[in-house]
């Protein structure tokens, strides 16, 4: 065993120490995602594609946690005191990049589907998002190809990590920004629906900001200190942030609906008896026929609006309907005149 004290420039803090901190934080976030996954499978009733997506994300996340644990163990335990190991790339560090990419690909694809639906199936916007996702997902395969066939991982790893983190940050910012703009334009002016939209915007910002900041931190650390393992600490955690953001979004749907359901629009109606009008009219004009007063007393108004929300589940709970109906004395005998808010007369 080599004596590390004989190497004055052998620093552990920004190499093995950074990798160890990244492992601990990633393991903590993995525990949080496991709790969220348990809550999802026991409290949510989604269709099988969404449940399969959550299961796949958790499987990839668990495999990634095993791989990074193996990486840190090889560096810190199996090769303790061997400073030359810092210049070598452990196989599990390469493979974990793939599973990190799988997790990011699934979560971002799910969000891209939301962008496609909420943007009225805008092909150009969806294509731009998909290109960023495909570039981020394909870069690790190029990296492993270089390592297997050209043994150029050490030379190409820095450039590849810069590309992957740049694409990840750009994709997350684009998706979060697009969802926020689309949701903001969907405001209806009704308190209940606007409250729901505000909460959805908040969730979109939070999920996009966390993953974007982690990717940007990894990008800055590899550019500024590419000879250290500082970027690895952030890269170990980015997959956990993707899985937790997906599960938090899915688990928060009932809470958002419940908060919106707790808001009841109240309207103040002044029910004025037309008898008072007839009484006042009699005192001023000398009398109004009782038949005319009875005809006026038959007037009633009912307001009807329709709001539709596209969500992942329970479509029957996402439509609110009220009717705008004005009934006049003619309606009482020949039918009802229904007025829509847009001005159309049915």
Q: Which residue has the higher pLDDT, 76 or 10?
A: 76
Give me the mean pLDDT over the 39-54 stretch. 93
For 193-234, the three-class secondary structure string (H helix, E strand, C coil) is HHHHHHHHHHHHHHHHHHHHHHHHHHHHHHHHCCCCCHHHHH
pLDDT higher than 70, residue 171: yes
Average pLDDT of span 14-26? 90
d(CA 310, CA 319): 9
* Tens-place pLDDT, residues 203-235: 777 777 888 888 888 888 888 887 788 888 998
Q: What is the DSSP letter of 320?
A: E
Residue bearing the bigger pLDDT, 157 or 218: 218
Report pLDDT for 189: 78
Query: 0.75 exceeded by the pTM?
Result: no
Query: Tell me, what DSSP letter sits at residue 306?
Result: E
Cα 259–chain centre separation: 18
Residue 131 lies in a domain: yes
pLDDT for position 9: 56
Same domain as 81, residue 200: yes
Amino acid 198: pLDDT: 82
Using DSSP's 3-state secondary structure scheme, residue 304 falls into coil
108/172 Cα distance (integer angstroms): 8
User: pLDDT band at residue 305, thresholds of 50, 70 and 90?
Assistant: low
Give pairs for 253-257: CB < 8 Å, separation 24+. 253/44, 253/311, 253/312, 253/313, 254/43, 254/44, 256/196, 256/199, 256/200, 256/203, 257/196, 257/317
Tokens representing residue 196 in the block: 């729901």
**Residue 345 domain-assigned?**
no
Higher pLDDT, 135 or 280: 135
Please tell me whether residues 173 and 245 are part of one structural domain.
yes
Residue 2 lies in a domain: no
In whole angstroms, what is the distance from residue 305 CA to residue 291 CA?
Answer: 34
The predicted structure's pLDDT at residue 334: 41
Q: What is the pLDDT of residue 260?
A: 59
Please check the confidence at residue 244 and state whether its pLDDT lies above 50: yes
The values of phi and psi at residue 302, to 5°, are -125, 125
Q: Is residue 3 part of a domain?
A: no
* Domain residue limits at 282: 274-338
Closest CA relative to residue 249, chosen from 308, 205, 215: 205
- Provide CB contacts within 8 A for 28, sequence distance 6+: none
Residue 266 maps to a domain: no
b/e 275-286 (16+ beta carbons within 10 angstroms → b): eeebeeeeeeee
Last residue of a domain, one of 214, 237, 261: 261
Checking if the pLDDT of 177 tops 70, the result is yes
Q: What is the pLDDT of residues 245-259, one digit of tens each?
A: 999 989 988 877 776
- For residues 116 and 32, membership in a common domain is answered with yes
Residue 61 scores a pLDDT above 90:
yes
- Look at residue 114 and tell me whether its pLDDT is greater than 70: yes
How would residue 146 be classed by pLDDT, with cut points 50, 70 and 90? low
CATH number at residue 178: 1.20.1070
If asked whether residues 316 and 199 sit together in one domain, one would say: no
Q: In whole angstroms, give the CA distance from residue 260 to residue 344.
A: 29
Asked whether residue 346 is assigned to any structural domain, the reply reads no
Shared domain for 176 and 285, answered yes or no, is: no
% of the chain exceeding 70 in pLDDT: 64
How many folded domains does the chain comprise? 2
Q: Given 261, 288, 313, which residue is the final one in a domain?
A: 261
Do 225 and 90 belong together in one domain?
Answer: yes
pLDDT value at 191 more than 70: yes
Based on the fold, state whether residues 133 and 87 are members of the same structural domain.
yes
What mean pLDDT comes out for the span 314-332? 43
Question: What pLDDT, on the 0 to 100 scale, is given for residue 138?
Answer: 78
pLDDT at residue 42 is higher than 60: yes
**Chain segment 262-297, per-residue pLDDT in tens:** 555 444 444 444 344 444 544 554 544 455 444 454
Determine, yes or no, domain membership for 269.
Answer: no
Higher pLDDT, 270 or 102: 102
B/e letters for 164-179, b = 16+ CB within 10 Å, e = fewer, are: bbbbbbbbbbbbbebb
pLDDT at 71 (0 to 100): 92
Asked which of 261, 286, 313 is the last residue of a domain, the reply is 261
Whether 240 and 278 share a structural domain:
no
Dihedral (CA of 186, 191, 195, 196) sign: negative
Could you give the residue ranges of the DSSP H alpha helices within the chain? Answer: 16-43, 48-73, 91-118, 123-145, 153-185, 191-224, 230-251, 253-261, 274-285, 290-297, 329-334
Same domain, residue pair 170 and 280: no
Residue 178: the pLDDT is: 86
Mean pLDDT of the chain: 74
**Above 60 in pLDDT, residue 150?**
no
344 domain-assigned = no
238 shares a domain with 206: yes
Query: What is the band of 62 on the pLDDT scale with cuts at 50, 70, 90?
Result: very high
Using the structure block, give the residue that is written with the tokens 């799988």: 102
Query: Do 249 and 216 fall into the same domain?
Result: yes
Whether 58 and 127 map to the same domain: the answer is yes
């Amino acid at each position: 065993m080599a004596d590390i004290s004989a190497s004055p420039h052998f620093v552990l803090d920004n190499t093995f120490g950074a990798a160890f901190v990244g492992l601990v934080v990633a393991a903590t976030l993995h525990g949080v995602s496991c709790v969220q996954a348990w809550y999802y499978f026991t409290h949510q009733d989604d269709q099988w594609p969404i449940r399969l997506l959550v299961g796949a994300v958790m499987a990839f996340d668990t495999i990634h946690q095993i791989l990074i644990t193996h990486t840190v163990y090889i560096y810190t335990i199996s090769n303790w005191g061997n400073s030359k190991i810092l210049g070598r790339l452990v196989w599990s560090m390469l493979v974990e990049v793939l599973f990190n990419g799988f997790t990011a690909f699934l979560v971002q694809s799910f969000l891209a589907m939301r962008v496609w639906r909420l943007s009225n199936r805008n092909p150009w916007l969806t294509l731009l998002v998909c290109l960023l996702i495909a570039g981020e997902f394909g870069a690790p395969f190029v990296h492993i190809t270089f390592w297997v066939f050209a043994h150029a991982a050490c030379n190409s790893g820095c450039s590849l990590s810069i590309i992957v983190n740049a694409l990840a940050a750009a994709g997350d910012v684009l998706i979060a920004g697009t969802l926020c703009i689309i949701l903001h334009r969907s405001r209806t002016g009704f308190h209940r629906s606007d409250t729901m939209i505000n909460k959805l915007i908040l969730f979109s910002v939070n999920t996009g900001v966390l993953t974007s900041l982690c990717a940007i931190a990894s990008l800055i650390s590899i550019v500024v200190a590419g000879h250290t393992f500082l970027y690895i600490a952030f890269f170990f955690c980015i997959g956990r942030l993707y899985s937790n953001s997906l599960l938090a979004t899915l688990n928060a749907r009932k809470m958002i609906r419940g908060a919106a359901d707790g808001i009841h629009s109240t309207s103040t109606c002044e029910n004025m008896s037309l008898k008072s009008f007839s009484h006042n009219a009699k005192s001023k004009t000398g009398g109004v026929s009782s038949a005319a007063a009875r005809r006026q007393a038959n007037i009633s108004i009912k307001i009807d609006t329709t709001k539709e929300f596209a969500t992942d589940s329970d479509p029957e709970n996402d439509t609110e309907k009220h009717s705008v109906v004005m009934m006049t004395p003619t309606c009482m005998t020949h039918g009802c005149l229904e007025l829509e808010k847009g001005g159309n007369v049915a």
